[in-house]
Structure 1
Amino acid sequence: MLRTVNRLLLGLGGLALFALGGAALVGGLDLERHWDFRLPGWWPFGGPDDVILTDGARTRFRDNGWWWPAVLAALGVLLALLLWWLLSQLRRHRLVAAPVDSGDGVGGQLRGRALEDAVAAEAEAMDGVARARIRLMGRPAAPRTRAGLRLEPHARPATALERLSREALRHARESAGVGSLPAEVRLNAVRHRARRVT
């Protein structure tokens, strides 16, 4: 969801800046007079001496009792949304460590990166896998995996997926001591030239 929100905000912000910049450019360069065309009446900038906000537009609602509470409420909502967005960007998506039961009652911590590297090395050792990228996400009590496998031309995707689930992910599940380890796997093929058959 965060990726969708980021793309939507980036697209809307870019579109608004593009429209505002184009309107200011048309007015600032006085293209209406130079290129001999008419701008619509609602166009924000009419010429090089035009301003963004006139004195009348700025002070139109000042005498109304609802103006300042409405402005402060809108700014408060905008600030809350921006803080939510900033905190969601800073939140860790990667699993830093998982608790491991060592049998002595004290327990230990298994670093997420170490487990990722171990699963990736085991996946890359499988026949047909050129490269593996593993990422552990979620909470320590309920981790999940995002894996990306780059397959050799001769590899069978179904076989690679089955072996990843049966071997590498099972070993990771046993190492972390969790009952389940859901995985999202993306398969890509290594770029290669076609062989010439004679």
Structure 2
Amino acid sequence: MTRSDDESRSASALARSYRGERVLTSVIGLVALLVGVAALVVGAGWLGTYRAARPVLDPMAVDWLVRQALTARIAAILLGLAMLVLGLMWFFRSLRPEARPDLALDSTIGKGLTVTAGAISAAIAADAEQVDGVSRARVRAVGDREHPALRLSLWLRDGSDVKTIWREIDSTVLRRARESLGVEHLPTAVRLELGAAERQRVR
């Protein structure tokens, strides 16, 4: 596996895929752009001054729709149903929870050992909370069994040294996680929250 393949898999694991949303947004934007360009071309008279002066709903098109009323209604109903189905599919896809992979540490038949994603997250979070300056930690295991990754959120106490905390997280917590899971690489996205200073009560 090349370095670029490893980096691409890490990136896809650390950030939830929004490829579908981007494709849909791009298609809608392209259609809107084409409609706008067409309206500009017609309005500027590039297709003829007579065509630019005609109403938006071309009388010829309206007459054709009147003559083909049944066909137009059926087409409109089918288009509406298709849009409804696509909208519902998109809605439920957006609500679908992200996969949290379990790791098989031993796949021997009859002696298999699988660690759940929840157990992995809880163990790493508990380890991270032992670091001086970390008040709370939250971990989420993402990716797949072959290429796991982590999302690590840390809440730091006020006045903590961020560089020292990160060095300890990287050299101890993440190192132990890699050794425990038996993986050489464990891509991790870290999010830090700095605690606010405690309010002093005025007497």
TM-score by length of 2: 0.58
Q: Taking CA–CA contacts closer than 8 Å with sequence separation of 6 or more, which of the two structures ends up with the larger relative contact order?
A: 2
1:52: which partner in 2? none
* 3-state SS in 1 of match to 2:152: strand
Contact kept, 8 Å, 1:101 with 1:177, in 2: the verdict is no
1:146: which partner in 2? 151
Structure richer in helix, relative to its length: 2
2:53: which partner in 1? none
CA shift, 1:119, in A, is: 0.7
* 3-state SS in 1 of match to 2:71: coil
What's the % identity of the aligned pairs? 31
Is 1:127 matched with 2:132? yes
- Superposition map of 1:37-186 within 5 A: 63-90=69-96, 92-101=97-106, 106-186=111-191
CA shift, 1:69, in A, is: 2.1
Give unmatched runs, 5+ long, in structure 2.
Answer: 1-16, 22-65
* 3-state SS in 2 of match to 1:66: helix
Give a deviation string over 1:106-161, Cα, whole Å, max 9, x none: 54101111111111111111111111111111212111111111111231112212
Give a deviation string over 1:33-64, Cα, whole Å, max 9, x none: xxxxxxxxxxxxxxxxxxxxxxxxxxx79824
Task: In structure 2, give the amino acid aligned to 1:183.
Answer: T
Contact kept, 8 Å, 1:96 with 1:111, in 2: the verdict is yes
Residues 1:94 and 1:131: Cα distance change in structure 2 (over 3 Å):
farther
Question: Aligned partners of 2:108, 2:74: CA distance in 1, in Å?
Answer: 63
TM-score by length of 1: 0.60
* 3-state SS in 1 of match to 2:148: strand
Give unmatched runs, 5+ long, in structure 1.
Answer: 6-59
* 3-state SS in 1 of match to 2:138: strand
Contact kept, 8 Å, 2:101 with 2:143, in 1: the verdict is no
Q: How large is the Cα RMSD of the aligned pairs? A: 3.1
Q: How many residues align?
A: 141
* 3-state SS in 1 of match to 2:69: coil
